[in-house]
């Protein structure tokens, strides 16, 4: 008798492996489905313009811990992570839907607090909340947001557009959100051991704000438009710089080299990394949740990009097929894509 096949565990496959397995045989039936799985958002042909659509879900105990995440901030962040994916297509978000599954441990006031954050995000980013779903759960809270954005067809940017010798650019700074999470976790652990000790969060404002109240980079998309920047490939940084570089390289069938000393890291992130005996570079490469934009431009755009304060050039696209970090000693270390959740 043939032996029964041992079931494959989810952790063996990992987040990206699982998505690939589930979606590899999909063939799109409609001409209007311009892009399906595989970018920050799907793209649908709507004649003159197109719509981009993206969904991201946050689950209690996996993506957030309500011991230290205020519900209003959580609502705001649940919208931000989705708007970030819309901007990552060079599109303007217009609508969202919000679905929640919620257990009886939550009061009406608590859910209203969550929605105060969602409404604030909609006001700030000029987005309409147009629907959703509300169901009960056995334990905990899950929030799933779908964002819909608009762009002219020729303006949509994909992960796959990187060209040989392109400059690789990143907005803002990296690693701070991860370090903010480490401080929140440290204080939670101390409090759980001794309830009389109040969390010590003074002086950590920047990294805590980066973790608890991220902002999607609408301003960078506006800058692209205002300056006429020729962007070839675009992605947002949700899983860490390293993963997103690998995604761009894989989708574009290219490689890249980046230089650690060029990676933008805020001084307060560097200070906290030291305090926690962590490497700030590791937080920047693998930490995730930065919600910055990573993009490539032809060398002809060098002056425009180099003269803009909020953007750093961190490397260039190669034809090696590998994403490589070039150390100060000139050695190349290959970067890998790590799923943020890691089952």
In the complex, minimum distance from the CB of residue 214 to Mg ion, in angstroms, rounded to a whole number: 13
Report the interface residues with ligand ADP, using CB under 6 A.
Answer: 19, 22-23, 37-40, 56, 85, 238-239
Q: Which residue number, 293 or 324, has a Cβ lying nearer to ligand ADP? A: 293
**Cβ atoms < 10 Å from Cβ of 108:** 7
Q: Residue 48: how many CA atoms within 13 Å on its side-chain side?
A: 0
Q: Measured between alpha carbons, how far is 280 from 317 in angstroms, rounded to an integer?
A: 24
Q: Per-residue x/- marks for Mg ion, 24-63, CB under 5 A?
A: ----------------x-----------------------
Query: What does 140 interact with, of ligand ADP, Mg ion, none (CB < 5 to 8 A by kind)?
Result: none
| Main-chain phi, psi angles of 122, to 5 degrees | -65, -40
- In the bound state with ligand ADP, the residue whose beta carbon lies nearer, of 22 and 130, is 22
CB atoms inside a 10 Å sphere around CB 328:
8
Nearer CB in complex with Mg ion: 80/100: 80
What letter would DSSP give residue 152?
E
Q: Which partner, Mg ion, ligand ADP, none, binds residue 22 by CB below 5 to 8 Å per kind?
A: ligand ADP
Contact status: 187 vs Mg ion (CB under 5 A):
no
Give the residue with the Cβ less far from Mg ion, 64 or 87: 87
* DSSP letter, residue 55: E
Q: How far is the CB of 243 from ligand ADP (least distance, A)?
A: 8
Binding-site partner at residue 19 among ligand ADP, Mg ion, none, CB < 5 to 8 Å by type: ligand ADP
Helix (H, G, I), strand (E, B) or coil at 325: strand
- Give the Cβ contact number of residue 294 at 10 Å: 23
Using the minimum distance from each CB to Mg ion, give the nearer residue, 15 or 85.
85
Q: In what order do the strands lie in the sheet with 128-136?
A: 33-35, 42-46, 49-59, 141-152, 92-102, 128-136
- For Mg ion, the binding residue among 39, 173, 236, 301 (CB under 5 A) is 236
d(CA 249, CA 241): 12
Triad 122, 127, 128: Cα angle to 5°: 95
CB of 227 to Mg ion, least distance (A): 23
Q: Which stretch binds Mg ion (CB under 5 A): 160-168, 232-240, 257-265, 298-306?
A: 232-240
Nearer Cβ to Mg ion, position 187 or 215? 215
Which is it for the CA torsion 15, 318, 157, 212, positive or negative? positive
Q: Which of Mg ion, ligand ADP, none interacts with 211 (beta carbon under 5 to 8 A by kind)?
A: none
β-partners of residue 170 are: 294, 312
Nearer to ligand ADP, 184 or 248 (CB): 248
Closest C-alpha among 157, 251, 191 to residue 243: 251
CB of 299 to ligand ADP, least distance (A): 27
Query: Which of 85, 166, 289, 290 touches Mg ion by CB under 5 A?
Result: 85
33, containing H or E segment: strand 33-35
CB of 16 to ligand ADP, least distance (A): 7
- Residues at the contact surface with Mg ion, assessed by CB under 5 A: 40, 85, 236, 238
């Amino acid at each position: 008798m043939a032996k029964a096949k041992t079931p494959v565990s989810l952790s063996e496959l990992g987040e990206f492996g699982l998505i690939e397995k589930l979606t590899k045989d999909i063939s799109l039936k409609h001409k209007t489905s311009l892009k399906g799985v595989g970018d920050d958002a799907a793209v649908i042909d709507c004649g003159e313009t197109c719509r981009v659509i993206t969904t991201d879900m946050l689950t209690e105990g996996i993506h957030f811990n309500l011991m230290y995440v205020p519900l209003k901030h959580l609502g705001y962040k649940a919208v931000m992570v989705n708007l970030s994916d819309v901007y990552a297509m060079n599109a303007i978000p217009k609508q969202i839907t919000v679905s929640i599954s919620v257990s009886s441990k939550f009061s009406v006031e608590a859910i209203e607090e969550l929605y105060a954050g969602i409404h604030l995000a909609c006001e700030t980013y000029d987005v309409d909340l147009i629907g959703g779903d509300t169901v009960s759960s056995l334990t905990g809270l899950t929030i799933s947001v779908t964002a819909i954005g608009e762009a002219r067809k020729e303006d949509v940017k994909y992960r796959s557009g990187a060209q040989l010798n392109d400059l690789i650019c990143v907005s803002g700074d990296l690693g701070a959100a991860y370090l903010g999470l480490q401080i929140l976790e440290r204080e939670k652990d101390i409090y759980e051991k001794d309830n009389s000790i109040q969390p010590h969060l003074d002086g950590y404002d920047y990294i805590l704000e980066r973790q608890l109240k991220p902002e999607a980079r609408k301003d960078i998309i506006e800058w692209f438009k205002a300056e006429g920047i020729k962007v070839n490939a675009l992605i947002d940084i949700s899983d860490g710089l390293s993963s997103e570089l690998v995604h761009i390289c894989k989708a574009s069938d290219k490689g890249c080299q980046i230089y650690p000393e060029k990676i933008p890291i805020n001084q307060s992130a560097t200070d906290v990394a030291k305090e926690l005996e962590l490497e700030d570079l590791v937080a920047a490469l693998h930490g995730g949740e930065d919600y910055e934009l990573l993009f490539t431009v032809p060398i002809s755009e060098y002056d425009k990009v180099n003269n803009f304060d909020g953007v750093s050039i961190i490397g260039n696209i190669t034809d090696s097929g590998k994403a490589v970090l070039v150390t100060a000693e000139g050695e190349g270390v290959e970067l890998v894509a790590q799923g943020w959740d890691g089952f």
